[in-house]
Structure 1
């Protein structure tokens, strides 16, 4: 309503004399423009409310067609947001007080009314009604808010909780929390510290916000965010949010970032390793080639052969490295295609040893158990055993022999390779099968760190297991156990072959 608008008043009064007096009081002030509609019966008043807009109702409690609190009830039903000022006699003052409790904003006792009292009461009723509407809207907003909202007294007992607050803690009925203490939602070890931190902040800033862990009614912990404000007349208001999903998302993001950092680091290390591994044999090849080009015609065949052998070894080293990287790129779950054929394992192992053993590092082979022909993929088995035996020789340094045992069991076969070399540090043992990872004690020994990763992948493709036992400077024992199918069993399953 603007300054120049009329204040629309509905006056319900069956006494013409009283109605005239009230209108005269309103006319005695020039601060407000009043427009008064006078009716004598409640029925007519309800019709007016249906057709016209008013700012306030002045109503007698004793009307020809209604009396006492019935009048207020019907008016409040017809116009629930419209302020009502009750007009009553001195003897009915108790009823007037009850009318205020039931929705009227104020009351005036006839015979005690003057201009000031009437105008004050009208303005008070309008303002009080406006504030009640605002408070009602706020109350509804709080009740339906998705955020948990609670009011606590000075002893931190709940005096109000909205539905969202109780649901966050797992309660079906908000009333179950009333008069209980806030501390029931926190572990005993954190109650004193958390409350102390909050109270200190409330004393200094009237406000505290933070994250903590709360417990639902079923004792399930969850991440929560709290905002607590000090109320003017004591107590606090608490806003609660369940941030478990956000925390999980943050954790997943951190994990993804960590994986990205590790991948970047792995890529950097891989490039460095490959560059080094290729540069060394290429340098050897280059030097040997240039030397032969310049001096081959002056040297003896034996001396030239030494350079040729170096070139061949360099090419073989690069070929092995390329093969390993190709295997790493193509292998993986359900990617390797196995082609088992009947194998005489003893003969297979002895032929493999012949290509790897040296006078400095003899490989001592022994077969145990009931030797028989079985089905395995020879290409995959050669790759596995070549990597393991080569590592055993390389990391033995000057420590001598390597033991290689073939152990037959009814349903599996085990390949056991033991060396007495530099061993593997304890802190490196859980990282052995990570591609490109090398032990901290390998020094300048050549290697890419992908051999054992390749071995593990192919062992798992064969549905086998690999176990490593090692001690620093005492050697390493590796056992590979593979399930086997006997030639006779395969033949029985495929009699037409």
Structure 2
């Protein structure tokens, strides 16, 4: 059976009578449980503490130091300060001849675990004080270790995230030139071939163009998201006329998707006011929401795009009659690359709403999504009329593949 090790006590006391008092108190306790080492000066205390590990047979250190505040080479709180400066991890209980609560608080503030009034020491009180001091120090050490582990894990995670973002951005960037060559090459080949192609050839061309477009969208989204994660995205507000802004977005979205099978109805509610917000971030919000609404709606579907002015906010609402989003999928809407099971076969990256949410957060707004399977989805974005500018250097514009 393994015997519990003894508790090692360093008594720093120059008064023979006081030292004898503590010696007698420890003598009344089980002698195998305690090991008492006595010194009379601060310098000897520091030297003994440092050398005890190598000198003791079990290579142990002191569990507790009983430190008198009145020594030949140090007095008052300066004694504790000097000892703690030399041995910051030592468990210290200060000894004083005065029942001075203010002194005790100052000692604890300087790193002592507790204090004892020498002429009031009893066996049980000394035992309790020592054990509580050791337990508090052990708890402190555990908390410190946990904090260091958490900090180290956070630093590793941040480093990995930075490496991942840098790698994704680098790989995505390298796709841009090949994709541009493929796209331009397809346009040149189409111009050189007869207008009327055989059905199979036309089908192959369409498949290649569709796959190329899908890769372009993926690269754009990955590049944008990696830039958002790698940099501290900030709001750079400018004055905007939202009606003109939304009209331009509708025209651009319809043209970029070559959409002739859906209608976008735009509606404004409330008195128009100039809004101060980040046009680049707002552009990403609106284009992603409209393109999602078009992609997931049946042919002939009507997309409703609403602009609602309120006293201190403006609301952008996109409503579609599409396939809807299940309750399970709604719990993962803002997770990168996550797509619902009913979205299979529909082109998409699973990054659109992630980008939207990030942009909405930077603009100090809120996003709400309600949906029902086979009925449709409504996305409501509420933004302040004025986005507070960030006190930082101007960030680079987030561009995609043209």
Q: TM-score, normalised by structure 1?
A: 0.42
The match for 1:482 among 380, 383, 391 is: 383
- For residues 356-395 of structure 1, the aligned pairs below 5 Å read 356=253, 358=259, 360-372=261-273, 374-375=275-276, 378-395=279-296
Return closer, same or farther for 1:378/1:171 CA change in 2, 3 Å cut-off: closer
Count of aligned pairs: 291
Instruction: Tell me what 1:252 maps to.
Output: 151
Q: Does 1:172 align with 2:115?
A: yes
CA drift at 1:417: 1.7
CA drift at 1:386: 0.6
Instruction: Tell me what 1:349 maps to.
Output: 246
Q: State which structure, 1 or 2, has the greater radius of gyration over its C-alpha atoms.
A: 1
Instruction: Verify the 8 A CA contact 2:238 2:277 in the aligned structure 1.
Output: yes
- For residues 158-307 of structure 1, the aligned pairs below 5 Å read 164=92, 170-173=113-116, 178-179=123-124, 216=136, 224=139, 242-260=141-159, 270=168, 296-297=193-194, 299=196
CA drift at 1:280: 12
Return closer, same or farther for 1:137/1:300 CA change in 2, 3 Å cut-off: closer
For residues 320 and 353 of structure 1, the distance between their equivalents in structure 2, rounded to whole angstroms, comes to 18
Partner secondary structure for residue 179 of structure 1: helix
Instruction: Verify the 8 A CA contact 1:463 1:483 in the aligned structure 2.
Output: yes
For residues 161 and 268 of structure 2, the distance between their equivalents in structure 1, rounded to whole angstroms, comes to 43
Instruction: Verify the 8 A CA contact 2:235 2:362 in the aligned structure 1.
Output: yes
**Consecutive unaligned residues in structure 2, runs of 5 or more:** 1-15, 21-35, 50-60, 66-89, 95-107, 387-402
Return closer, same or farther for 1:144/1:337 CA change in 2, 3 Å cut-off: same
Q: Does 1:438 align with 2:332?
A: no
Return closer, same or farther for 1:459/1:164 CA change in 2, 3 Å cut-off: same
CA drift at 1:385: 0.5
Q: Over residues 103-136 of structure 1, what are the superposed CA-to-partner deviations in whole Å (9 max), with x where a residue is unaligned?
A: xxxxxxxxxxxxxxxxxxxxxxxxxxxxxxx964
Q: Over residues 9-34 of structure 1, what are the superposed CA-to-partner deviations in whole Å (9 max), with x where a residue is unaligned?
A: xxxxxxxxxxxxxxxxxxxxxxxxxx
CA drift at 1:353: 2.9
CA drift at 1:484: 2.3
Return closer, same or farther for 1:477/1:299 CA change in 2, 3 Å cut-off: closer
Partner secondary structure for residue 347 of structure 2: coil
Q: Over residues 411-469 of structure 1, what are the superposed CA-to-partner deviations in whole Å (9 max), with x where a residue is unaligned?
A: 2210012334341654764661x5x4423534454333443343344434444333344
- For residues 308-323 of structure 1, the aligned pairs below 5 Å read 320-323=217-220
Return closer, same or farther for 1:484/1:323 CA change in 2, 3 Å cut-off: same
Instruction: Tell me what 2:325 maps to.
Output: 423
For residues 443 and 454 of structure 1, the distance between their equivalents in structure 2, rounded to whole angstroms, comes to 21
Instruction: Verify the 8 A CA contact 2:169 2:223 in the aligned structure 1.
Output: no
Partner secondary structure for residue 383 of structure 1: helix
Query: Higher relative contact order by CA 8 Å / sep ≥ 6: 1 or 2?
Result: 2
For residues 309 and 273 of structure 1, the distance between their equivalents in structure 2, rounded to whole angstroms, comes to 26
For residues 429 and 380 of structure 1, the distance between their equivalents in structure 2, rounded to whole angstroms, comes to 24
Instruction: Verify the 8 A CA contact 1:273 1:448 in the aligned structure 2.
Output: no
CA drift at 1:258: 4.4
CA drift at 1:349: 2.7
Partner secondary structure for residue 173 of structure 1: strand
Instruction: Verify the 8 A CA contact 1:426 1:471 in the aligned structure 2.
Output: no
Q: Does 1:409 align with 2:310?
A: yes
**Consecutive unaligned residues in structure 1, runs of 5 or more:** 1-79, 81-100, 102-133, 151-161, 187-213, 217-221, 225-240, 486-497
CA drift at 1:409: 0.6
Instruction: Tell me what 1:148 maps to.
Output: 63
